[in-house]
Amino acid sequence: MEKVAPAQSGIDQRKADHIRINLEQDVRSALTSGLERYHFVHEALPELDLESVDASLTVFGKRLAAPILISSMTGGTEEAGEINRRLAEAAQECGVAMGIGSQRAALEDSKQIPTFAIARKAAPDILLFANLGAVQLNYGYTIEHCRRAVDMIQADALILHLNPLQEAVQASGDTNFAGLAKKIEGICKKLETPVIVKEVGWGISERTAKILADCGVSAIDVAGAGGTSWSQVEMHRAPDEFTRQLAATFVGWGIPTADSILNVKKAAPDMTLFASGGLKDGLDIAKCLALGATLGGMAGQFLKAAAVSTEKAVEMVKLTKRQIEVAMFSAGVEKLESLKVEKS
């Protein structure tokens, strides 16, 4: 099987660590996504032809074959560039959306631009999201940095990620999150493309959803608890015992994805909502849609497939799409907007 080349050293180390730890260690949250608390009512007589079930949709003006998002992950090393290429090839072939990882590495070292730009090169037609840490707006980043991130990959929208806990459990994280809402609002007003705000695996509360809606964001990706736990990733990177123990404390922290979707629905009923965090398959994506999401995203799972090959990533997207279609068929539903779940 095709192998990903080993990462370089030096400034690439952090990005390389993230990929290695996510592939080799158990970094799952102690919580579940909460989606196991919901089920579809089985319809033995769906009165549908499976082939007439339609999982396609339009998001930000782009047509998607299925409501699947390959969540923001990587870039910034040769190995990460190869993973972005494989993920983008899979997204292009299957007609689904994709986010790339934080582009800070490329804004600070232009040699890294190709490791992100490869995504658009390999996937000229997909719905593609740029990515920056929102907290960087408190550390010198301006609208110009946001524009450069979008232009670098001809992105359809910019994702600003919120990761206060991840920064707080690192040895020297960027922990000044004060006054950030005002800055996010400024970016929403000035940026030419839509702004999406996401968490990275601890979810969105009603209060945060309300603030983000007031900032004028175009969509929220809840990235709730139940899957990849970034405090666990940081625990494995910790340089000393103090930091390791600090990070380990938070293995059960966060708002499960299912609860997080309901939080956003309650606080901002008209908000476009993406769901991610601990989604296992297309059935989980279908449940998220029934709860009010437009797209369902997976990160860790797609990383594992892309680390093997493009073909493996394509296979996984195809399986995920078919799982959504079979869930729709067996629930007697022809269109995504008709999906409904019951609490178990």
Ligand X SMILES: Cc1cc2nc3c(=O)[nH]c(=O)nc-3n(C[C@H](O)[C@H](O)[C@H](O)COP(=O)(O)O)c2cc1C
Residues that bind ligand X (CB under 6 A): 18-19, 22, 71-74, 101-102, 131, 159, 161, 198, 200-201, 223, 227-228, 276-279, 298-301, 303
- Pick the closer one to ligand X by CB: 145 or 161: 161
In the complex, least distance from residue 52 CB atom to ligand X, rounded to whole angstroms: 30
In the complex, least distance from residue 43 CB atom to ligand X, rounded to whole angstroms: 29
Rg (alpha carbons) of the chain, rounded to whole number? 19
- Pick the closer one to ligand X by CB: 77 or 92: 77
Dihedral angle sign, alpha carbons of residues 127, 131, 137, 140: negative
167 close to 135: Cβ distance less than 8 angstroms: yes
In the complex, least distance from residue 82 CB atom to ligand X, rounded to whole angstroms: 13
| Residue of minimal Cβ distance to ligand X | 227
- Pick the closer one to ligand X by CB: 95 or 201: 201
* Beta bridge partner(s), residue 130: 158
- Structure tokens given for 151: 């232009």
Pairing of strands 57-59, 62-64: antiparallel
- Residues 6 or more apart whose CB falls under 8 angstroms from that of 244 comprise 235, 238
In the complex, least distance from residue 327 CB atom to ligand X, rounded to whole angstroms: 18
In the complex, least distance from residue 145 CB atom to ligand X, rounded to whole angstroms: 15
- Pick the closer one to ligand X by CB: 164 or 227: 227
Concatenate the DSSP letters of all residues of 229-284 into one string: -HHHHHHHH-SSHHHHHHHHTTTT-S-BHHHHHHHHHHH-TTSEEEEESS--SHHH
- Pick the closer one to ligand X by CB: 80 or 327: 80
